[in-house]
Structure 1
C-alpha cells in the first residue's frame, strides 16, 4: 500500500496536478496578503461546525459515470465565502477532504477544491466592493452569490474534466457532457441556498444559534443529492441492460462474438473522421451501433445459423430485424434514445444505389449515421467467419468495400474508411481485436470449413451477415 502511494502518474497528468496545487498556493497567498485585515467573525465552534458540514458533504458525494464524483461541497464553501474573510473558505475546502487515495489524486482533489473556492471568493468580493444597484435595491449579494456559484462550478468541472481527459485520453467534451451537463440546472438552482444559509446563520431563526436553521436546510439538500444519485444509478442500470441485451444476442451465435462492439468501434472512428473530429457525434454513433442488430433477438436461432441459402420467406423474416429492433426499443424513445439511434436501427441495411431495405432509400436519403454503421457492419461481417462462408482477410474486405463504392456504400465514406484502415487501427484485424479485448482468441474466430451451399453475392447482401 505504501508503494502504491508513491507511484507517479503520466508526466502530463503530474504536471497538471502540480500546476493546480501551485495555482491554489499562489491564489491563497494573494488572498491572505490582500485581505489580511479582514475580521474573522467566526469563533472556534463556528469553524468546527462549518468544517464538519464541509467534510460531510464530501463524504456523501455521488459517483459520476467517467471517473469523477459530485458533492454538495459548493453549498457550504459558498456559505463560508459569505461569512468569512476570502482566504478562509479555500483553506477549509482544501483540508476538509480525507479520502486516502493515491497521493497525486488526493493532492489534485484538494487543490481543485481549494482553487475553485478561492476563485469564487474573488468573484463574491468583487461585487461586495463594487455594489450593484437597481434603483434603491442593492443587488450586490444576489449577483455576487450567482457569480461566485458560476465561477466555482466552471473552475471545478473544468479542472476535473481536464484531469480525466489527460489521464485517460478521452475527449474533453465527452467527459464534461457525460459527467456534468445534466447537473448544471440543479447546481445553479441550489447555489442561492448558500446565501440563505449564511444569512440564517448570522440571524438565527430557531433557538439562539443559527446552526439549527442550517441543519434544517440539510433536508432539501439531502433530497437533491438523492436525485443525483438516482439519476446516476438509472443511467448505470440502463447501460447494464443494454450490455445484457448484447450478450443475449451474441449468445445465440458464437460466431458473432463481440460483433456489435467491433462494429461500434469502427463506426465511431469513421463518424469522427467523416464529421471532422466531432466527438459528440462519434460517441452517439458508437452507442447506436452497439444496438444496431438488437432486432435479431426476435429471429429464430436456426434461421440465423442456417448454413444454406434462404427461401424468400426466410429472407424476409431476417430482413425484419431492422423494424423489429425499432419496435423493441420504442418504449425508450422519449426517455433514453434520440432519433439517431432509430435511424441506425432501421436503415443500416439501406444501400447507396437504393437496393437495400427496409424502404429502398438511396444516396443522401439514407441518414448519414446509418450509412456509417452500414459500412462498419459490412466490414466486420466480411472479416468474421459464418456457417456458410469463410472469413475474408482485412485486405480482401477492404478491396470489396472499395469495389462497392457508389453501389452499396457512400463513396465519401469509403474514402474516409480507406484512410482509417491504412492507419492500422486495432479493429482492422479481427483476430488481433479479439485477442486485445479478451486476452486470447478462441476457436470461434477460426474460419470454418466452407459450405457447399450457395452464399449471397455482394450485390445481394444476406441480412444474416449484416450487409456484405
Structure 2
C-alpha cells in the first residue's frame, strides 16, 4: 500500500532523477577509490561547521522563474573542496540539504549538488597535481578555483535546466537564458572568495579559530545575495506597477473591466497550444498581453471613452496607442523587458492582410506573439461590448474570428483558437470569466444581442471596432 501512495513524476523526469543519483554515486565512488588514502585534516566539528554554512546558503536561496532558484552554496562547497580530500565535500553537499519537497525533487536537488561539487573537486585536484607557473608565480590556486567554479556552475545549471525542460516542456536554451545566463559572471567573480574563505579558516585571525573569520565574511556575502534577490524583486515590482496602471485604466470603464487579464489568459492558452506546450513562451506572451494596451494611458479619456462616432483626429489618436505604449516602456527596455513585450505592444493591431496599424505589416512579417495577442484582443473586445457597440455572444464572436481567417488573423492561429474554444475554457464566456475572477458580475458586462454592422476589421473615422 505504501508503494501505491508513492508520488511519481513523469517517466522522463524520473529517468533524469535516477540518472543524477546514480551519477553522483559513481562520481563519489571514484573519488573514494582515487583519493581515499588522503588524510582527513578536518574534525567532526569542522565538518558540521561547513555543513551548516551550506545548509544556511540553501535556506536563503533566491527564487527564479520557472520553478528554479539560486544560492551561494557553491562558495562554501568550493571552500570545503580546498580544505578536505575530494570525496568529502560532495558527501557534505549531498546531505546538508533539508527540504519539504516531494522525494524525487529532494533527491534530484541533493544529487545535482553532489555532482557539481564532485566535478569541482576533480578540477581543483587536477591543478594541485599539475601546478601552473608563470615565472616564479604559482598560479595553481587561482586557476584551480576558477576552473572548479566553472565546473560547478555548468554542472549545476545544466542539470537544473534539463529538469525544467523535461518537467515543464520549456525549450532548454530558453530555460537556461531566463534563469542562469545573467548569473555566470557573478559565479566567476565570486569564486575567489571560496579560496579566501578556505585560507582564512586555515590561518585563524580571531580567538584561535578560523571559523570566526569565515563568519565575518558572511556579511558581504549576504549582501551579494541580497543584490540577486533585489534584482528579481525589482522586476516583479515593475510588472506589478504596470499592471496596477492597466487596472486603473480599465476601472474607469465597466465594460473594459479585466480586459487585459482576460486577453492575457486567452493569449497564454493559445501560445501554449501553437508552441506544443512551451510554458516559457506562454508565460512570456501572458506577461506581454497584460501590458498590450499600456499606451492608452496617454490617450485623453474624452476620446478613449467617447460613446459616439470619432472624428478623423480622434481616430488617429486611438490608433497611436501602440507606438505610445512602446515609447512609454522604452526606458525599461534593457532592464525589465525583452523584444517580445515590445512586439506585442507595438504590433498587436497589425492584420494578416496588411491593413492594420501602425506599420501595415502583413503575414509572417508580424511577430507571432503579436498575432496571438491580436486575435485574443479582438475576441475579448467583441464579447465584452462597448458604449458604441453591443457585445456579441461567444458563438457569434467565434464565427466572426473564423470568417476573418486569412484577412485579419493568421489562419493557423484561428484553427488553434477554435480547438481551444471547443474545450470550453473559462475565458470563452466573459460573464463566467468575470464571475470566476471577481465572484460577481454587474449587468453592464453581460452579453447582449449582436449588431450585424459590427466587424473586427479596420474602419473609417467615425465608427468604432473591436480592433481599438
How many residue pairs match? The answer is: 456
Determine the C-alpha separation between the residues in 2 that align with 1:5 and 1:276.
Answer: 31
| Structure 1 residues 210 and 355, CA gap change in structure 2 (3 angstroms) | same
| Structure 1 residues 4 and 259, CA gap change in structure 2 (3 angstroms) | farther
Residue pair 1:133, 1:140 contacting (<8 A) in 2 also: yes
| Structure 1 residues 257 and 233, CA gap change in structure 2 (3 angstroms) | same
Q: Residue 53 of structure 2 corresponds to which residue in structure 1?
A: 53
1:82 deviates by 0.9
1:398 deviates by 2.2
Q: Deviations over 1:387-409 (max 9, x none)?
A: 3142534243123132x2xxx56
1:306 deviates by 5.3
| Structure 1 residues 364 and 119, CA gap change in structure 2 (3 angstroms) | same
Q: Deviations over 1:91-115 (max 9, x none)?
A: 1111111233332222222222112
Map 1:151-170 onto structure 2 (within 5 A).
151-170=151-170
Q: Residue 37 of structure 1 corresponds to which residue in structure 2?
A: 37
Determine the C-alpha separation between the residues in 1 that align with 2:171 and 2:435.
Answer: 26
**Structure 2 length-normalised TM:** 0.81
Q: Deviations over 1:342-367 (max 9, x none)?
A: 45434443456765444x54559976
Q: Residue 71 of structure 2 corresponds to which residue in structure 1?
A: 71
Residue pair 1:289, 1:373 contacting (<8 A) in 2 also: no
Task: Confirm or deny that 1:399 pairs with 2:403.
Answer: yes
Determine the C-alpha separation between the residues in 2 that align with 1:4 and 1:102.
Answer: 15
Q: Which runs of 5+ in 1 are unaligned?
A: none
Out of 307-316 and 156-165, give the one that drifted further.
307-316
Residue pair 1:308, 1:455 contacting (<8 A) in 2 also: no
1:121 deviates by 1.1
Q: Which of 408, 413, 420 does residue 417 from structure 1 map onto?
A: 413
Out of 40-49 and 379-388, give the one that drifted further.
379-388
Map 1:274-423 onto structure 2 (within 5 A).
286-299=286-299, 304=304, 308-338=308-338, 341-350=341-350, 355-358=355-358, 361-363=360-362, 368=367, 372=371, 375-377=374-376, 379-381=378-380, 384-387=383-386, 388-389=389-390, 390-391=392-393, 392-402=396-406, 404=407, 414-418=410-414, 420-421=416-417
| Structure 1 residues 371 and 85, CA gap change in structure 2 (3 angstroms) | closer
Q: Deviations over 1:26-85 (max 9, x none)?
A: 221221122111111112232222222222222222222332222111101001111111
1:162 deviates by 2.3
CA RMSD of aligned residues (A): 4.0
Out of 291-300 and 263-272, give the one that drifted further.
263-272
1:196 deviates by 1.7
Determine the C-alpha separation between the residues in 2 that align with 1:40 and 1:420.
Answer: 63
Residue pair 1:295, 1:323 contacting (<8 A) in 2 also: yes
1:231 deviates by 1.2
Map 1:73-112 onto structure 2 (within 5 A).
73-112=73-112
Task: Confirm or deny that 1:185 pairs with 2:185.
Answer: yes
Determine the C-alpha separation between the residues in 1 that align with 2:422 and 2:40.
Answer: 61
Determine the C-alpha separation between the residues in 2 that align with 1:267 and 1:147.
Answer: 44
Q: Secondary structure at the match of 1:401?
A: coil
Q: Residue 227 of structure 2 corresponds to which residue in structure 1?
A: 227
1:293 deviates by 1.0
Q: Residue 457 of structure 2 corresponds to which residue in structure 1?
A: 458
Residue pair 1:378, 1:465 contacting (<8 A) in 2 also: no
| Structure 1 residues 14 and 426, CA gap change in structure 2 (3 angstroms) | farther
Determine the C-alpha separation between the residues in 2 that align with 1:62 and 1:4.
Answer: 34
Q: Deviations over 1:305-324 (max 9, x none)?
A: 55654333442342232344
Determine the C-alpha separation between the residues in 2 that align with 1:68 and 1:365.
Answer: 34
Out of 386-395 and 69-78, give the one that drifted further.
386-395
1:218 deviates by 1.8
Residue pair 2:382, 2:466 contacting (<8 A) in 1 also: no
Q: Which runs of 5+ in 2 are unaligned?
A: none
Determine the C-alpha separation between the residues in 1 that align with 2:167 and 2:433.
Answer: 21
Determine the C-alpha separation between the residues in 2 that align with 1:66 and 1:340.
Answer: 18
1:7 deviates by 3.1
Residue pair 2:274, 2:416 contacting (<8 A) in 1 also: no
Out of 139-148 and 32-41, give the one that drifted further.
139-148
Q: Secondary structure at the match of 1:204?
A: coil
Q: Secondary structure at the match of 2:9?
A: coil
Determine the C-alpha separation between the residues in 2 that align with 1:384 and 1:17.
Answer: 46
Residue pair 1:123, 1:151 contacting (<8 A) in 2 also: yes
| Structure 1 residues 55 and 342, CA gap change in structure 2 (3 angstroms) | closer
| Structure 1 residues 30 and 76, CA gap change in structure 2 (3 angstroms) | same
Determine the C-alpha separation between the residues in 1 that align with 2:435 and 2:377.
Answer: 25
Residue pair 1:381, 1:465 contacting (<8 A) in 2 also: no
